[in-house]
Structure 1
Amino acid sequence: MLVAFSIAPATAGPEGSVHDAVAAAVRVVRESGLPNRTDAMFTTLEGEWDEVFDVVRRATDAVLAVSPRASLVLKADIRPGWTGELDGKVVRLEHALEGDA
């Protein structure tokens, strides 16, 4: 499964920045060993249900360690038996786009 999620603390740092809290969450994700990718809005993880949601929970806990409240947005693509989809979906999209050229 793929899970794209975003965690935001209730309180921001100077200039409205939340990057320190987000960095704590992304650190948990990267240390998990699961395939992952972070962009400007979301972090996407790939793995089995229990392992992915354990990482999401621990990443949320990391934000809650520096903020009294957190907001979590999550989207999941559950496709049993498929792996390598963090890259596979993008590769298929790029091939489709090349076919349109």
Structure 2
Amino acid sequence: MLLAFSVAPSGTPAGRNPASAATSPTNAADGSVHDAVAAAVKIVRESGLPHQTDSMFTTIEGEWDEVFAVVKEATEAVGRFGSRVSLVIKADIRPGYSGELSGKVERLEKAISESR
């Protein structure tokens, strides 16, 4: 399976005074949540599963249980940065296939080059 996910915190982290929320990395003036996202991506990288991160999503390839275990751990890590967490998931479940993280893109590029 390929699973693309995006996870982000909101609100004030537990134990933090709401008055100091404006100086929190999660509630930076520019709205950046990069510290929380970095914590999630670190977990993905340490999982050993094939993965790819872009500006909007991180995609992981693996079996159902192992992929969702990583997403759960990454979501819990992001939860430390806010009182709420938003999680978006999109999955391509195709039993019997592996190497699709790059395989799908290679087939797309081939189709584009053949259509010229």
Give the TM-score normalised by structure 2.
Answer: 0.85
Counterpart of 1:24 in structure 2 is 39
CA distance in 1, matches of 2:81, 2:109: 39
Q: Say how many residue pairs are matched.
A: 101
CA distance in 1, matches of 2:52, 2:46: 12
* Deviation string, structure 1 residues 38-60 (Cα, Å, up to 9, x no partner): 00000000000000000000000
RMSD (Å) for aligned C-alpha atoms: 0.8
Residue 41 of structure 1, aligned match among 56, 60, 81: 56
Alpha-carbon separation, structure 2, partners of 1:24 and 1:100: 41
1:74 paired residue number: 89
- Structure 2 stretches lacking a partner, 5+ long: 12-25
Spell out, residue by residue over 1:48-80, the C-alpha distance to the aligned partner (whole angstroms, 9 max, x if none).
000000000000000001211100000000000
- Is the counterpart of residue 2 in structure 1 residue 2 in structure 2? yes
> Percent identity among equivalent residues?
65
Which residue does 1:90 correspond to in 2? 105
Greater C-alpha Rg? 2
Q: 1: distance between equivalents of 2:35 and 2:77?
A: 10
Distance 1:70 1:95 in 2: 38
